[in-house]
A and B are shown apart, each in its own frame.
Chain A
């Protein structure tokens, strides 16, 4: 039975009135569902983020077992595990770890609070922005390593100086991402808050900060790995305790396996911290419908 889909007359201005165009007959094919080609990445692979590191470890194990990797250049994984065990028995790993972790987390906490407060002030007040944004960009341009001699001069070489250095480094990603997210809040929500007669405090707590949360959490991901990286830098200069000290000592004695233990601990700290923030992101931002979910 002929249907209207069998042939369609189309006249375009270019054609003469006599010409017609017939489309390809379009009959539904049985058993084939017509879906649009999916352009997004699709559902998540379970444990997808852990696959990459796992493959690297596999490579390491295989390389060492097959003799491709010289144990003098890179200790075999089982040597590192042995060293781990030794250090834990001696209690050295735990003590140094606690010292380092305390420094890093204190610096992270302080930097987080200061960075957020500065971002909020700079976003909600023009004078605040004028006073704060420039100096932050200046600090950003100076690498922590270059800043350390000055910081030693000002704050000495104690715990205070180490925590300050880490905090100063952490402020930057928190400020930049939070400030950017705050400025990007749709002005329609600002209008809404005004019509509801919200107080400045309620406006900040219920509209501004939650609205900036996605950007803030991205800044947190950077901050959380940066605090460990800054820790490494800060512990290289005259540490008398902590993971950096342990690595330094091992370097002096040529103990590659202990160095690797230290590095593995840093890597684990970084990966676990980032993973925790991503988990937090998924929980807290479950209301979003984006390419990622």
Chain B
């Protein structure tokens, strides 16, 4: 497994990755990925299934214990992960889940504030399986932000939710990130979600980054905006998806 170098990161880079290689069995999943993420930058990572998105996120999170590989990987110690399943401990109440690992009264207070931010105040004593899918994911968001992380890693966090809930969660995430300003890496397969939320969009294909796009659209991002549509078309073609009316000549 690649060692963390422990060197000083460059001044504003929250994440610094150079030549990251990850192999699983005989297959190379990540084939030399280079990326820097600035403080407070919202980055979305798109890719087809099998492109290596989850492997990359796991590597950043430090969760790839049994995967071999090389490369330089600098991430902040204070990072949080939001998974596709809310991953709440079913034997702990909502507030206990949010403050997991945070001791003392200060932790409790922070937990209550975080729950209020995701608009679940009053549900502190509920059990996770009494909540809907969207509510559970909101608790997971509260848990991830309660420690004021420098980096938020989100692995398709809204993939399991219905379309309407997903839109509300986009708004919530935007609000939370505007307030707390962590650097964010959002892994998603949803191109619209990426354009709607991110400042910068990466496309991963067969373990390599093939696109690195800045999104300068003003907030709130309008799906009907022609610039939105052109970015979407560009990304879809990088992902190998044909869009009607725009076939390559």
Contacts and interface: CB of A to CB of B under 8 A. Distances in A.
Interface of A: 188-189, 191-199, 202, 206-207, 210-211, 213, 285, 287-289
A194 B63 contact: yes
A58 to B, nearest CB: 40
B100 A195 contact: no
A207 B101 CA distance: 10
Interface string B50-66: 00000000000111000
A287 B62 CA distance: 31
Contacts of B83: 188, 191-192
Contact of B80 (A193, A195, A213): A195
Interface string B116-157: 000000000001110000000000000100000000000000
A47 B232 CA distance: 64
A202 B62 CA distance: 19
Nearest to A192: B87
B87 A289 contact: no
A207 B77 CA distance: 22
Given A207-B89, A210-B89, A191 B63 contact: yes
B199 interface: no
30 contacts: A188-B85, A188-B87, A189-B87, A189-B89, A191-B83, A191-B87, A192-B81, A192-B83, A192-B87, A192-B89, A193-B100, A193-B101, A194-B62, A195-B61, A196-B80, A196-B101, A196-B143, A197-B77, A197-B101, A198-B100, A199-B101, A202-B101, A206-B101, A210-B89, A210-B92, A211-B89, A287-B127, A287-B128, A287-B129, A288-B90
Contacts of B127: 287
B36 to A, nearest CB: 22
Contacts of A287: 90-91, 127-129
Given A191-B63, A197-B77, 19 more contacts: A189-B89, A192-B87, A193-B100, A194-B63, A195-B81, A196-B80, A198-B100, A198-B101, A206-B89, A206-B100, A206-B101, A207-B89, A210-B92, A211-B89, A285-B91, A287-B128, A287-B129, A288-B90, A289-B129
Q: Is the interface of B mostly helix, strand, loop or mixed?
A: loop
Candidate in A192, A193, A199, A211 with the most chain B CB atoms within 10 angstroms: A192
Contacts, number: 50
Interface of B: 61-63, 77, 79-81, 83, 85, 87, 89-92, 100-101, 127-129, 143
Nearest to A195: B81
A199 B100 CA distance: 11
Contact of A213 (B81, B91, B100): B91
Nearest to A199: B101
Contacts of A210: 89, 91-92
Candidate in B79, B87, B101, B129 with the most chain A CB atoms within 10 angstroms: B101
Contacts of B101: 193, 196-199, 202, 206
Contacts of B63: 191, 194-195
A210 B97 CA distance: 13
A213 B92 CA distance: 12
Contacts of B80: 195-196
A115 B187 CA distance: 44
A270 B128 CA distance: 35
Contacts of A207: 89
A211 B100 contact: no
A142 to B, nearest CB: 36
A259 B12 CA distance: 83
Nearest to B140: A192
B82 to A, nearest CB: 9
A186 to B, nearest CB: 9
Candidate in B80, B87, B91 with the most chain A CB atoms within 10 angstroms: B91
Contacts of A285: 91
A197 B90 CA distance: 19
A199 B101 CA distance: 8
